[in-house]
A and B are shown apart, each in its own frame.
Chain A
Amino acid sequence: MDAPIHHRRRAVGALAITLTTLLALAACTAAAPPSAAPSASPTPLSAAAFPVTLTDDEGAQVTIPVEPRRIVSLTPATTEILFKLGVGERIVAKVEDLALYPPEAGSIPDVAKFGSVDLEKVVALEPDLVIAGGNTFTPPDAVEKLRSLDVPTLVVYAPTVAKVFADIELTGRAVGREQAAADLAAAMRAEFDEVAAATGSVGRPRVFYEIDATGAIWGPADESFLAEMISLAGGDPITTGSPDKFDIPLERLIQADPEVILLGDAAYGVTAEQVAARPGWNVTTAVTTGAIRPIDDIVVTRPGPRLTEGLRALLAALHPDLVPVPAAP
């Protein structure tokens, strides 16, 4: 009985040693130069802007050696921005977008979902730029991994309207469309200013923007992107009372007495009749005056070029009398 045990111990020991050696070897060879391999050399660059080093929204210094021709877009807003800047055909893969825009993006393969990235597929496409989402939209581990494989990876995150414009300009610099991006951002700023001027002298209705109310009631947090958009559109946003919590107690909502309720969840089938029928909601001004309006959640919240459409949609819902021109397409 003893001899076999002894052997088994040796066998296990041998396995452990083999494993350790294997790892040591792996560590040694990890730094070895990649074997001779045919890699598509990028076309010579036209502008002198590259290589360019940019600071992304998480403070990382990202160097992009040549003008990107093979871009992976890991946020829906980035996909929209790239198409708007005229480089949509350079996107080789994108994040899944349940509210796909623009339609041309439909033919681009998906390599990621909200909160997960298929790194194998991304690496196989040999991208020369990956634009990822901050605030853990793209898993931080995936960003780290891509950078360790020398894939230039820019992380964008826009918690404010000003940051949306800044991200458009950042994206423009990253893909060699600096001027087009600057023009786009300037046009958007002008439109926001125009709306601000129009709403400056009118009353600001108390607005509750309903994100979801199937369980708890979800609305904008204090200082959130949504609250800012509502303010910019001439509304007084009713917020949750916390900078990072998006659920609001019904008591607080009733006490705040919304004059207008916007249904960001209208796309999920929520109607004004349903809201009016909810217990407790009937006392609010918005319900008694019938000021419950559906709104397109995507254009209001997506930090991309259609944000001006979102602003116009909010303006139309809050100040129907003020809308001078139809929203620009």
Chain B
Amino acid sequence: MTSLPADLALRVEPRRRERVRELVRRHPRAAFGTAVAAVVAVSVVAVGLGSVGIAPGETIAIVVRRLVGLDLGVTWTPATEAIVWELRLPRVLTAATVGAGLAVAGATFQGLLRNPLADPYVLGTASGAGLGAAIALVLPVRIVFIEFGLVHALAFVGALASVTVVYRLSRLSPWSGMTNLVLTGYAVGALLAAGLSMAMYLSGSSLRQIFAFILGGFEAASWNRLALAVPLVALGSLAILFRARALNGLLLGEEAAGHLGINVPRERALLLALGSLVTAAAVAVSGLIGFVGLVVPHVVRLTVGPNARAVVPLSAAVGAALLIAADLGARLLGDIPVGVVTAIFGAPFFLMLLRRAQSGYEL
């Protein structure tokens, strides 16, 4: 109120944001459709670009031919086909699946725990998955079943097991609120992280692979791995979307949610389980990718408001688009870790968004 620019900003910014919210509220399908169109557009670019230059016509012809069997009269070499169909497309779709899953899980945990710093890994999932993967890599056995190794299996199991332990431990205490859950998650996570550090110290030549898992990435994406992750992520995310009312209610506080007729303990356990399942599936195929799960739900809420019915599907779309784009950047920059790209480009963007949002955002 003291200076003119601040006064102007206060009056202009909320209005523009209100307009976006109003548009999304009135045209939910259009909003979601726009987001999905953005995902498709980013995917097309990401399949078209890579360290090897392939003519757009060839790329399109290969995808069309493989998808619908239609011959567009363009010829290409088997190598080109392998690059587009076996290397790029599974990688892009895996990035989309993981991005969508982590963003949905992040939105779920943030709403559930009413904590803006919550992300998919908040309840010990990251350390659990990392420890599982490290144990698999240190063990002198190599089991591979349709491209699924012990690493993927133990990462998945480790993620779910750590959440289960955290949940059970938090319920032992007489006060079983969300704060208790978060702190239990922190303690268990610290313990598992110590185990992970020890495994890394003892790992010898497996160290590089453990490190690669912790950094996360999509270099190893394949159709078979994708085919196992997609149903888990898609069904888990849909189930979360169907519980959007409970998620909205829990955002008001447990007591208020109870007054709204929501079975708080049951919904809380269900949402926790679903969010963890989606996270574990994502982590099993791509390792620990950070940032997306924390920031995407905030970006969406800053734009369209806190209603979970809008936040969950839009987070999925934005998360997918963001990770596809980040992975494309990582590939073009010589396969640097994708988490570096998301943070370098995402963090300043997020800061800008925070700066512009001058009022009215509390979890």
Contacts and interface: CB of A to CB of B under 8 A. Distances in A.
A13 B238 CA distance: 8
A277 interface: no
Contacts of A115: 208, 212
Interface in A1-59: 4-5, 7-9, 11-13, 15-16, 19-20, 22-23, 25-27, 29-30, 32, 34-39
Interface string B301-334: 0000000010001000000000000000000001
Contacts of A142: 219-220
B147 interface: yes
B5 to A, nearest CB: 37
Nearest to A242: B204
A36 B86 CA distance: 17
B33 interface: yes
B146 to A, nearest CB: 11
Given A25-B67, A244-B204, A5 B309 contact: yes
B82 A123 contact: yes
A251 interface: no
Interface residues of B, number: 57
Contact of B206 (A5, A26, A124, A136): A136
Nearest to A12: B313
Contacts of B67: 22, 25-26, 29
A140 B209 contact: yes
A120 B78 contact: no
A5 B24 CA distance: 11
Contacts of A9: 241-242
Contacts of B32: 8, 11-12
A135 interface: yes
Interface string B111-149: 000000000000000000000000000000000100100
A89 interface: no
Contacts of B26: 4
A304 B71 CA distance: 49
Contact of B76 (A13, A37, A118): A37
Interface in B53-90: 62, 65-67, 69, 71, 75-83, 85-89
A135 B51 contact: no
- A contact patch SS: helix
A91 B209 CA distance: 28
B19 interface: no
A20 B238 contact: no
Nearest to B205: A135
B309 A8 contact: yes
Contact of B83 (A27, A124, A141): A124
A116 B335 contact: yes
Contacts of B291: none
A119 interface: yes
Contacts of A27: 223, 227
B50 interface: yes
B335 A34 contact: no
A274 interface: no
B219 A141 contact: yes
B177 interface: no
A121 interface: yes
Contact of B81 (A11, A37, A121, A148): A37
A35 B65 contact: yes
A53 to B, nearest CB: 21
A37 B206 contact: no
Contact of B77 (A25, A39, A139): A39
Contacts of B33: 11
A248 to B, nearest CB: 16
A123 B87 contact: yes
A183 interface: no
A119 B87 contact: yes
Contacts of A121: 51-52
B76 A16 contact: no
A149 interface: yes
B234 A20 contact: yes
A193 interface: no
Contacts of A16: 234-235, 238
A144 interface: yes
Given A16-B238, A115-B208, A124-B52, A26 B223 contact: yes
Interface string A129-170: 000000110011110110011000000000000000000000
A194 interface: no
A126 B206 contact: no
Given A12-B238, A120-B88, A23 B230 contact: yes
B273 interface: no
21 contacts: A4-B26, A4-B27, A7-B28, A8-B313, A11-B313, A23-B230, A26-B89, A29-B66, A35-B71, A35-B76, A37-B76, A37-B81, A38-B75, A39-B77, A123-B52, A123-B87, A126-B77, A135-B205, A136-B206, A139-B220, A149-B82
Interface of A: 4-5, 7-9, 11-13, 15-16, 19-20, 22-23, 25-27, 29-30, 32, 34-39, 115-116, 118-121, 123-126, 135-136, 139-142, 144-145, 148-149, 244-245
Q: Sort A-B residue pairs by CB-CB distance and give the 6 closest, nearest first.
A: A141-B220, A244-B204, A124-B52, A4-B28, A120-B52, A8-B28
Interface of B: 25-29, 32-33, 36, 50-52, 62, 65-67, 69, 71, 75-83, 85-89, 93, 144, 147, 204-206, 208-209, 212, 219-220, 222-223, 226-227, 230-231, 234-235, 238, 241-242, 309, 313, 334-335
